[in-house]
Amino acid sequence: MSLHDASPEFVQSLSEHLPEGTLRAPEPRYLEEPRGRSFGNGGVVALPRSVDEVSTIVKACNASEVPVVPYGGGTGLVGGQVVTDGAKPVILSLERMNKVREVRPLENVMVAEAGVILKDVQTAAEAANRLFPLSLGAEGTARIGGNLATNAGGVNVLRYGNARDLCLGLEAVLPTGEIWHGLTRLRKDNTGYDLRNLLVGAEGTLGVITAATLKLFARPKSVATAIMVVTDPAAALRLLALARECVDEAVSAFELMHRHGMDFVAETLPDVRLPCDTPPEWSVLIEVGTGSGAEKLLEDLFGQALEEGLVDDGLIAQSARQRDDFWNLREHIPVANKAVGSVASHDISLPLEALPEFIAEMSAKIAAQCPLRINCFGHLGDGNLHYNLFPPKGRSRHDFDDIRHGLSTQIYDLVHQYGGSFSAEHGVGRLKVVDLETYGDPTRLAAMRAIKTALDPKGIMNPGAVLAP
Amino acid sequence: MSLHDASPEFVQSLSEHLPEGTLRAPEPRYLEEPRGRSFGNGGVVALPRSVDEVSTIVKACNASEVPVVPYGGGTGLVGGQVVTDGAKPVILSLERMNKVREVRPLENVMVAEAGVILKDVQTAAEAANRLFPLSLGAEGTARIGGNLATNAGGVNVLRYGNARDLCLGLEAVLPTGEIWHGLTRLRKDNTGYDLRNLLVGAEGTLGVITAATLKLFARPKSVATAIMVVTDPAAALRLLALARECVDEAVSAFELMHRHGMDFVAETLPDVRLPCDTPPEWSVLIEVGTGSGAEKLLEDLFGQALEEGLVDDGLIAQSARQRDDFWNLREHIPVANKAVGSVASHDISLPLEALPEFIAEMSAKIAAQCPLRINCFGHLGDGNLHYNLFPPKGRSRHDFDDIRHGLSTQIYDLVHQYGGSFSAEHGVGRLKVVDLETYGDPTRLAAMRAIKTALDPKGIMNPGAVLAP
């Protein structure tokens, strides 16, 4: 399939059907991704204000075979938002579709346009005394449409699920430019194929999400947070199982942290408060939210975990400020990682029971090859690890340029062997298309290609993302 | 697309590739559906023991363009399991694939083959001190593969979700006969399109589910159940909101019951114990499950609801036996309905806030036309009502044969007007294909057709179900 540039003639012709100022030359921010690993090849930015304008744009692109790249907050980490080569695209930014259309606390439902910033979704829920639980590092910039298109994860997945689980309905423009009016508020609706979940996680390759019905929740009245020092990842998992027995489904976050992460924060971000002077080898950040008595629950858990030898030490936050400190530390680990400069990073997931063995085996393998520092941290409760490799002190990531790719392959191979995933929450984008080809189930890949061709016969929607063009 | 009969020659040729006894003439049970509204047109029954045998069968059917009807427990209520006309199919029953392959309590995961009876899935979870929360009237007969193919609902959806929400991964045979090995135990895996959710709810039209990874949960240690008498459906909804405020996410069931349902039980099932002599006009069955103190939570809720004027009366079960009585009553309402004989039944859902108004408006409309008894009951917490019409005492359903269809149309029209669904949990099957055409979003329908053609170009999988052939 050969696509065409969004040429000056195409732009001129399209602009006649849109309000002035809808189309313009792309500023650099539309052509970069956060890690600076790929750059867009230009094109034109479209800034529609309504689903009808989105439809007009996509119809024109479909007719002229011009690529469309849906663009949310631009925070994706796998290059899904940046076309680097081939025909110059229309970069379809949803930023002007940024209204919260409805909040219905009685139904625990909100309707938000795709361009609403995630933080603003959370705030609108809070204003109605409700919780929208999707929460992640980039929430001040990421937009809900992008969160849904990539099925974003974050720190509350354990209790509330991924973006997919928080979505009841969608309004979307399919690759032909037709509008799907699917903003249902229904919790149950068994009337045909699940188009919603097909668009969620398709990373803009099957259509453009323009608005979504989102699930809200009661705000837990009592929240408590602790950092507990665990012997090793296996003990952390046993602590998780114990926590679930003690406090039921009230565990809302269970984050693994490694000493290297705290060291990196200490080295590069002196303003971030650490919970102790000597970072423990392994620790977990646990949060519990209930109707009442969360702190007591956490104290009981800590007592029992001490008794069972799962934890050596721990701190239960005694104030909102201390809670914020704990979370601030956790959230600055990726920032510190960036400052140190990783040799390679991996957003992997594993079956829970396989996780400790994987960590031990992989670390030994890497140690046998080169003296890297491994910062292995993340959403342990979901089996999701950010398994990132860093140069030893005094050396640069570039000293390891020649072994980077080989190390990643070894990691993904072992992940695959244990039944894990090479992309737990970041998606495939453009950076992991080859990994999907390598590790994906062939029958599923064939089905994906058939679906892509069926819904987007001209291949205009985010070409090169997820599936090789 | 014209399909061919599973002819004697076809059966003979296929049988050479399968163990003896895999293919046989269909007994009547494969050709009936529970309400006796449609009958199968024959064909052959295939009883494979493995996914490889399923693949062999589907490949042969695809090559010879013979229809395949996946068959679970045969409990579906919309005719999805019965081909009534056209080419005689291979009825592919999963009943011999009935092994629980793995139970992993630490991971809260079970792998079960499609033919495992739902009740047996629950029992296997219980044996590992875990809960598999899918629970519905037909659980002693329904098989988990069918539950997933139809995205079954039931009484615990409010807290734990539909079948879809309880599934982590699938093993399935696609219409070409290729096997998808997707039995992941991962909670997070963002590597491409969501084929799992596409097969779940597709009612066997996009492939055959042969096994599934299922989510397990902690068993709530403390469970309490009550029947509370509410003024009207609006009060029931306010009670639900109050319950959620008081007891957080611990509300696991919230079932609306109408006087007629209890009357029908009293009339037709004298052995079923009723909670009171004079059935209340409206009541709700509430169940709460927590780590501890569920009964206290329910007492507090009842007290507050009395104070706020939402309930007039109520009973909190004082023993396991009384709990069973409450549930026994609720579960026998459909049995009593069947004994009385409905004029028409409707499995609808509505946005919660629209629900009281719908009930009032619809009942008035019907009363203005004919003297029917309306038994409106169901999963109120999910906005899901079974809105069933019955003849007045002394008259038969057949007295209303000429207005049946017109009444259903009026009901679905009003449901649609309020943003509801004509099939909340039963699916489309064959009985509601026309309703889907009438009320479905045209863009979504076109996408569904494109997907069907892409994955099943010869149209062999459950032809005539969900989409018109």
B36/B286: higher pLDDT: B286
Chain A contact for B165 (CB, 8 A cutoff): yes
Residues of A in contact with B467 (CB under 8 A): 192
| Mean pLDDT estimate for chain B | 95
Helix residue ranges, H only, A78-215: 118-127, 144-149, 157-160, 195-199
DSSP annotation of A65? T
- In the predicted model, is pLDDT for residue B249 greater than 80? no
- In the predicted model, is pLDDT for residue B330 greater than 70? yes
Q: What is the pLDDT, as a whole number, of residue A1?
A: 59
| Single-letter residue type at B17 | H
Choose among A178, A155, A28, A79: nearest CA to A464: A79
Nearest Cα of chain A lies from the Cα of B36 at a distance, in angstroms, of 22
- Could you tell me the two tokens for A361? 């085996």
Residues of B in contact with A218 (CB under 8 A): 244-245, 248-249
Q: What is the pLDDT, as a whole number, of residue A247?
A: 73
Q: What is the pLDDT, as a whole number, of residue B1?
A: 59
Q: What is the pLDDT of residues B441-465, one digit of tens each?
A: 999 999 999 999 999 999 999 999 9
Q: What is the pLDDT, as a whole number, of residue B380?
A: 93
Between strands A90-93 and A44-46, the pairing is parallel
> What chain A residue is nearest to B175 in terms of C-alpha separation?
A447
Q: What is the pLDDT, as a whole number, of residue A155?
A: 87
CA dihedral B424, B427, B432, B435 (to 10 degrees): 50
Cα separation, B172 vs A16, in Å, equals 49
Residues of B in contact with A157 (CB under 8 A): 187-188
Which residues lie across from B326 on neighbouring strands? none
- Give me the average pLDDT of each 10-residue run along chain A (469 residues): 93 98 95 85 97 98 98 93 94 98 96 98 97 94 98 93 97 98 97 98 98 95 95 95 82 95 95 90 95 90 95 94 94 93 96 97 96 95 95 93 96 98 96 97 98 98 94
**Taking the CA of residue B149 as centre, how many other CA atoms within 13 Å lie in the half-sphere pointing to its CB?**
36
Cα separation, B127 vs B219, in Å, equals 11
**Taking the CA of residue B136 as centre, how many other CA atoms within 13 Å lie in the half-sphere pointing to its CB?**
25
> B264 pLDDT band (50/70/90 cuts)?
very high
B268/A276: higher pLDDT: B268
Q: What is the pLDDT of residues B188-237, one digit of tens each?
A: 999 999 999 999 999 999 999 999 999 999 898 899 999 999 999 999 99
- Could you tell me the two tokens for B381? 């917490």
Q: What is the pLDDT, as a whole number, of residue B275?
A: 86
Residues of A in contact with B193 (CB under 8 A): 198, 201-202, 206, 447-448, 451-452, 466
CB pair distance less than 8 Å for A191 and B446: no
CB pair distance less than 8 Å for A195 and B162: no
State the average pLDDT over residues B427-431.
Answer: 96
Cα separation, B36 vs B342, in Å, equals 13
| Single-letter residue type at A272 | V
Q: What is the pLDDT, as a whole number, of residue B245?
A: 81
Q: What is the pLDDT of residues A215-255, one digit of tens each?
A: 999 998 899 999 999 999 999 999 999 998 877 678 999 99
Residues 264-283 in B contacting A (C-alpha not used; CB under 8 Å): none
State the average pLDDT over residues B83-87.
Answer: 92
> What chain A residue is nearest to B189 in terms of C-alpha separation?
A424
> What chain A residue is nearest to B205 in terms of C-alpha separation?
A193
- In the predicted model, is pLDDT for residue B246 greater than 90? no
- Could you tell me the two tokens for A446? 């064939």
> B127 pLDDT band (50/70/90 cuts)?
very high
Residues of A in contact with B350 (CB under 8 A): 186
| Contact present, A22 and A48 (Cβ < 8 Å) | yes
- In the predicted model, is pLDDT for residue B391 greater than 90? yes
Residue percentage of chain B with pLDDT more than 90: 91
- Spell A146-156 as b/e; 16+ CB within 10 A means b: bbbbbbbbbbb
Q: Which of B190, B245, B387 to mutate to test the interface with A (most CBs of A within 10 A)?
A: B190
Q: Which of A191, A352, A435 to mutate to test the interface with B (most CBs of B within 10 A)?
A: A191
- Could you tell me the two tokens for A106? 């009685």
Choose among A216, A212, A230: nearest CA to A126: A216
Between strands B208-215 and B282-290, the pairing is unpaired
Q: What is the pLDDT, as a whole number, of residue B419?
A: 97
State the average pLDDT over residues B22-27.
Answer: 96
Q: Which domains, from first to last, does chain A contain? A: 100-218 (3.30.465.10), 221-340 (3.30.70.2190), 341-426 (3.30.70.2740)
3-state secondary structure A338-394: HHHCCCECCEEECCHHHHHHHHHHHHHHHHCCCCCEEEEEEEHHHCEEEEEEECCCC
Q: What is the pLDDT, as a whole number, of residue A108?
A: 94
CB pair distance less than 8 Å for B195 and A448: yes
Choose among A176, A436, A355, A426: nearest CA to B449: A176
Q: What is the pLDDT, as a whole number, of residue B292?
A: 82
